[in-house]
Amino acid sequence: MSDTPNTNDDAGRDARHKARMVRKKEVVDSKIAAAQNERGVIVITTGNGKGKSSSGFGMVVRAMGHGMRTGVVQFIKGAFPSGEEMFLRRFPEECEFHVMGEGYTWETQDRARDVAKAEAAWEVARRMLRDPSFDLILFDELNIALKLHYLDLDTVIADLRARPPKQHVVITGRGAPSALIEAADTVTDMTPVKHAFEQGIKAQPGVEM
Amino acid sequence: MSDTPNTNDDAGRDARHKARMVRKKEVVDSKIAAAQNERGVIVITTGNGKGKSSSGFGMVVRAMGHGMRTGVVQFIKGAFPSGEEMFLRRFPEECEFHVMGEGYTWETQDRARDVAKAEAAWEVARRMLRDPSFDLILFDELNIALKLHYLDLDTVIADLRARPPKQHVVITGRGAPSALIEAADTVTDMTPVKHAFEQGIKAQPGVEM
């Protein structure tokens, strides 16, 4: 290491880098020491950007990698099975997968039917929330069903609060209601910077479906 | 359906809903008709919020669900194998998985070694970018290696541009450089709203690791 850390040579750069990293490690280590509570968390991904559902499915496979039992309820069903569905249905012991919704609402154009489908989906969700054998549950696109008032928000929050203390729940979809954000532990807003679709590129398997 | 759509009863609500959804379907359908190009895309997830890597791994399993071949290069290695790694290593034919980095830089505190490790990781990445048998590749935490100048940005972008035309690439990590954002098709900024860690809750398997 150089004795002249203000020079622009590599040794000086490395020395300054090391000093910064030592300080950063102290900050990170002290935060880790302070965060010692273990309990089930509610994670929400919302916003208009891409990656909300993908992030939820990434957490499902991460949990499966740790030998945890997972459940998925998709509140909005597409015209075709998604790649996630086709993949996760290969592991029925590790992931209980339900697709319950009925297409996007502008496809069905029938509010009463959408409400009935959402309520049936929540019955499945509630059963999982009462079963401590599920370590992590994903409610994909639940936020949309709440935003459209297909489900009663107070009932949903009460069921979430009554779940087993170690159970993690991941909720995705744009338009998460503020009371749900209040009830959650970790919330991320996926903000679009740019999107291939707006540039005339088709939704493609593996990327969007 | 009611003849008086401005009443507050259920039939009126349903009729107004249906009219809105008919208009929405027209807008969505016309956008879909306009977006007909199919080609490999570069997807970036960046920002300080949770869900960047999870979203990348979600896209990997989505692609695997479609029978696509995938590759993963992790540019930052944790102290323990992640849940994603433990899970995806079960499918070596479907996903070629490499963990190449050397911990967070404030853990290693050795810039020269970090640079050498990042360069070795990019050699693996470049091999995948030259192999059309990979349909979708994830470069997890590549943005951090670029932000810290462990890799030459122009070289990385040139290698990305030279890849097979149908190949998709997903790049994660905070601090994506603007030239990389410029080269990408879809970019999402994961914006933190709240995080369990800041409330004293420990990082837990299946959620953060």
pLDDT at B8 over 80: no
pLDDT of residue A119: 94
- CATH number attached to the domain at B40-191: 3.40.50.300
pLDDT of residue A30: 72
Selection from B175, B201, B134, B196 nearest residue B44 by Cα: B175
Q: Do A58 and B57 touch (CB under 8 A)?
A: yes
Least confident of A39-43, A88-92, A203-207, B182-186: A203-207
Give the whole-angstrom CA distance, residue A73 versus residue A52: 15
Burial class (CB in 10 A: 0-12, 13-18, 19+), A129: buried
Q: Do A21 and B105 touch (CB under 8 A)?
A: yes
From chain B, pick out residues whose CB is under 8 angstroms from the CB of A205.
63, 66, 68
Q: Do A63 and B185 touch (CB under 8 A)?
A: no
Q: Do A56 and B58 touch (CB under 8 A)?
A: yes
**Which has more confidence, B171 or B34?**
B171
Distance from CA of B175 to the nearest CA of A (A): 13
Distance from CA of A123 to the nearest CA of B (A): 23
Helix (H), strand (E) at residue B32: helix B10-34
> What's the mean per-residue pLDDT of chain A?
88
Please compute the mean of the pLDDT values over residues A186-202 and round it to a whole number.
87
pLDDT of residue B6: 47
Selection from B196, B197, B156, B198 nearest residue B176 by Cα: B156
Helix (H), strand (E) at residue B191: strand B186-194
Bridge partners of residue B140, in order along the sequence: B74
Question: Do the beta carbons of residue A182 and residue B20 sit within 8 Å?
Answer: no
Q: Do B62 and A203 touch (CB under 8 A)?
A: no
Tokens found for residue B90: 């079960």
Of the CA atoms within 13 Å of residue B125, those in its CB half-sphere come to 29
User: A37: which DSSP letter?
Assistant: B
Which member of A41, A50, A201 has the closest CB to residue B35? A201
pLDDT of residue B66: 95
Q: What are phi and psi of B163, to 5 degrees?
A: -70, 165
User: A95: which DSSP letter?
Assistant: E
Distance from CA of A90 to the nearest CA of B (A): 9
What residues have CB less than 8 Å from B93, skipping those under 6 apart? Answer: none
Q: Do A63 and B191 touch (CB under 8 A)?
A: no
Selection from A123, A6, A138, A195 nearest residue B207 by Cα: A138
- CATH number attached to the domain at A38-191: 3.40.50.300
Tokens found for residue B106: 């404030």
pLDDT of residue B191: 94
**Cα-based distances in Å from A122 to A12, A115, A177:** 60, 11, 17
Other C-beta atoms within 10 Å of A155: how many?
12
From chain B, pick out residues whose CB is under 8 angstroms from the CB of A38.
201-202, 204
Helix (H, G, I), strand (E, B) or coil at A198: helix
The domains of chain A are located at 1-36, 38-191
Least confident of A4-8, A47-51, A182-186, B25-29: A4-8
Give the whole-angstrom CA distance, residue B54 versus residue B62: 12
Least confident of A129-138, A188-197, B125-134, B163-172: A188-197
* Helices marked H in chain A: 10-34, 52-65, 83-88, 105-108, 111-129, 142-147, 153-161, 178-183
Helix (H, G, I), strand (E, B) or coil at A165: coil
What are B95-118's pLDDT values in tens digits? 999 998 776 556 667 888 888 999
Q: Do B192 and A192 touch (CB under 8 A)?
A: no
Least confident of A173-182, A192-201, B186-195: A192-201
In this prediction the ipTM stands at 0.82
> B64-82 burial, b if ≥16 CB within 10 A, otherwise e?
bbbebbbbbbbbbbeeeeb
What are A37-65's pLDDT values in tens digits? 789 999 999 999 999 999 999 999 999 99
Bridge partners of residue A161, in order along the sequence: none
- Confidence class of residue B3 from pLDDT cuts 50, 70 and 90? very low
Distance from CA of A22 to the nearest CA of B (A): 6
pLDDT of residue A104: 58
Bridge partners of residue A139, in order along the sequence: A73, A171
